[in-house]
Chain A
């Protein structure tokens, strides 16, 4: 599984990034995390409200800072 965090480096984007990393560490998940910073690359996902979360190339959340618990639930349902 692969998770991408889309965000230009604003405060909320960094918060989501932290939460994802925390979640992966906490539950000991085998997941690769990648942060996408360039606006044009973010647009390629069709997303305009950041931060956004992408799991295996599928956009699962836009414009929200999810807590690490919520992220875990989303990962489980994928």
Chain B
């Protein structure tokens, strides 16, 4: 029933927009036209060489990567020198799908390494994501992409460590099940499988001669095809394709909508408003950006086009980083889920720590790094 009401709500909103929007006014035409232009730009520049290969890799991770081998390092008896770093980067393999993050978080917390590494995992998980790294790199430049990645990892460890200091609990007695499931393929084949796809992604986004690209990229695909037909079986290949398709279905429509909205916002938000609240690298701009990011909901990857358009309107690079750091991990709906899971005290500390860290990180990057 709830679903039907939501559909009805959607239809009513679209109807009202169609009914009342003055489409023949110049300004409205401009706004919509800009949304479409931006969509075309992304369709031409980023979909084929960046997003699609990234979805294939994500699908491959779900099917071929051994998750339990990593979970082993997040158990109750692991030293914190291992559990924190592993928790901060394991999101790339463990959390390719956002619906798996919360059960893993709860599991690491209550049955594994405890609240610290669990928080580290929760915060870093969505940032360590091939699609996000490459889309940020090709849209906003590699400097910001790497800075974002590095600050996410460092921040995750700091925030996790502090949460552990504030809320240390006694040692977990129960543990989680590690099913040591053997994949029947050799490690080298699986490594090659991922390396070839990664090489495709990297070559596609490098600023090199396009003839070289035209030779190299089909070569990778041919090698990959040979590999999967000779070494992997039909069932796993099929599963890989269907997982990839699942990602594409889930992410692309919302991303396209997000790009369109970013294009519209660019026309609607006055430049001096952006400069007043998000301009330069003042402490206030960084703080405003991280609070805004914490409250706003960005569907997977849509933060990238939105930040790009805000930067074109005058947002500084420090506030851009702040927005990234708080935006992908927090949103109003997400805060409610976290509060339900952690309890009010822990959740509010987690949220405040993220806002504080994002502000400071943005301030440091904006004022002292890569000048």
Contact = CB atoms under 8 A, between A and B. Distances in A.
Interface of A: 8, 10-11, 39-40, 42-43, 45-50, 59, 62-63
B341 A10 contact: no
Interface stretch (B45-53, B105-113, B287-295): B105-113
B124 interface: no
Interface in B43-71: 67, 71
Nearest to A45: B177
A8 B340 CA distance: 14
Contacts of B177: 45-47, 59, 62
B184 interface: no
Contacts of B99: 8, 10-11
B93 interface: no
Contact of A43 (B100, B106, B246): B106
Contact of B174 (A10, A46, A48, A62): A46
27 contacts: A8-B99, A8-B102, A8-B103, A10-B97, A10-B100, A11-B99, A39-B102, A39-B106, A40-B110, A42-B103, A43-B103, A43-B106, A43-B111, A46-B111, A46-B174, A46-B175, A46-B176, A47-B107, A48-B104, A48-B111, A49-B67, A49-B100, A49-B103, A50-B100, A50-B103, A59-B177, A63-B67
Interface in B99-134: 99-100, 102-104, 106-108, 110-111
Given A46-B111, A46-B176, A40 B100 contact: no
B97, B99, B111, B246 — most chain A CB neighbours (10 Å): B99
B186 interface: no
A48 B102 contact: no
Interface string B66-89: 010001000000000000000000
Contacts, number: 49
Given A43-B176, A62-B177, 8 more contacts: A39-B102, A43-B111, A47-B103, A47-B177, A48-B71, A49-B67, A50-B103, A62-B179
SS class, residues of chain B in contact with chain A: helix
A38 to B, nearest CB: 10
A49 B70 CA distance: 13
A50 B106 CA distance: 12
Contacts of B176: 43, 46-48
A48 B179 contact: no
Interface in B310-336: none
A39 B104 CA distance: 10
A68 to B, nearest CB: 16
Contacts of A40: 106, 110
B143 to A, nearest CB: 36
Contacts of A49: 67, 100, 103-104
Contacts of B107: 43, 47-48
Interface in B148-176: 174-176
A11, A39, A42 — most chain B CB neighbours (10 Å): A39
Closest 5 CB pairs of A and B: A48-B107, A10-B99, A46-B177, A46-B176, A39-B106
A11 B108 CA distance: 23
A43 B67 contact: no
Contacts of B106: 39-40, 43, 48
Nearest to A48: B107
A43 B104 CA distance: 9
Nearest to A50: B103
Nearest to B250: A11
Interface string B333-351: 0000000010000000000
Contacts of A62: 177, 179
A43 B110 CA distance: 8
A32 B71 CA distance: 32
Contacts of A45: 177
Contacts of A47: 103, 107, 176-177
